[in-house]
Copies of this chain bind each other. A is one copy, B any other.
Amino acid sequence: MSLRYKRNIIHIKEGEQRSIQGFRVLIGGCGIGSYIAECLLRMGFENLIIIDGDIVELTNLNRQNYVEGDIGINKAIALKDRLMAINPDAKIRAYPEFLDRNNLYSLELDCDVAINALDFSSDIPFLFDEYMAQKNIPVVHPYNLGWAGFLTVITPESHNLRSLDREHQAFEINVGKFIVDRLREKNIDTKWLEDFLSEYGRIATDSPPPQLSLGLSLLSGMVCQVVFNIATDKKIKVFPESYYLSMRE
């Protein structure tokens, strides 16, 4: 094991470390994606494609991987700087643009797994999944629930998320209801989450979903586990199955 990854030993075997090094992870959306990218890179995923047209604002700093000096800068560009500071040998391709139905097909988005951390303010997340399904690429969907992380994986063989798109303007609320249903099936207490959804529902048309650094930390670990499993041919659950981690009771 190289010096950089010496402390990964036992947890990650040498062959696995080699496999993940070149495994291409595409991260669509550098909000939630910002910490996910850093966690993956530190673990040894040295081949990342990051995409976001958004610029860093003060309101992002409560949870996203940016500093005050990044305010006003494109997120993909700022994130690439941070990642290269951690590992200058990493291959980081940054696209400082919003995905839309045109560039989705014209950009070179070749990858082995994709993270769909795009805003659900348009239907581009669904088009993103469809594009990846055509290319036979699994898509990881992470959701920051504030006090919890929730994650599901879409594969070409699995169902897709269109079934949750009943009212497009508040997709997050529908995802929330879906999550509550799944958790109830597993007898996990959902009272706090239902309270949150009900309170958020009243302002959802005007406000993007509240999110905490806590939830993003949990999610980063969760995404790393799923991406590692995919890269090393281990079992994962796919949609409508899901993963949920929280200490909130």
- The interface-forming segment of A56-64, A154-162, A173-181 is A56-64
Smallest Cβ-Cβ distance to A213: which chain B residue: B42
Contacting pair A87 B59 (CB below 8 A): no
- Complex Cα spacing A8 to B209, Å: 9
Given the contacts A7-B211, A200-B10, A218-B217, A42 and B61 also touching, CB distance less than 8 Å: yes
Given the contacts A4-B61, A68-B88, A43 and B214 also touching, CB distance less than 8 Å: yes
Q: Mark A45-72, 1 if CB is under 8 A from B, else 0.
A: 0000000000000111111000111000
- Complex Cα spacing A58 to B247, Å: 32
With beta carbons under 8 angstroms apart, the residue of B9, B60, B221, B248 that contacts A225 is B248
A208 within 8 A of partner (CB): yes
Contacting pair B5 A62 (CB below 8 A): yes
- Complex Cα spacing A67 to B83, Å: 9
A199 within 8 A of partner (CB): yes
| Closest Cβ–Cβ distance, residue A150 to chain B (whole Å) | 12
| A window 144-203: CB within 8 A of B | 146-147, 149, 196, 199-200
Given the contacts A9-B210, A10-B210, A58-B3, A68 and B43 also touching, CB distance less than 8 Å: no
Chain A interface, DSSP helix/strand/loop, else mixed: helix
Contacting pair A147 B225 (CB below 8 A): yes
Bin chain A's interface residue count.
35 or more
A243 within 8 A of partner (CB): yes
A35 within 8 A of partner (CB): yes
Contacting pair B221 A214 (CB below 8 A): yes
Contacting pair A214 B210 (CB below 8 A): no
> Which A residues are closer than 8 A to B by beta carbons?
3-12, 35, 38-39, 42-44, 58-63, 67-69, 82, 85-88, 146-147, 149, 196, 199-200, 207-208, 210-218, 220-222, 224-226, 228, 243, 245-248
Known pairs A218-B245, A245-B246 / 5 extra A-B pairs, C-beta < 8 Å: A3-B58, A4-B59, A38-B213, A61-B86, A217-B218
25 sampled A-B residue pairs with Cβ under 8 A: A4-B59, A4-B61, A4-B62, A5-B62, A6-B62, A7-B59, A7-B60, A7-B208, A7-B211, A10-B196, A10-B199, A11-B210, A39-B213, A39-B217, A42-B63, A61-B86, A61-B87, A149-B221, A212-B224, A214-B220, A214-B221, A215-B221, A217-B220, A217-B221, A218-B221
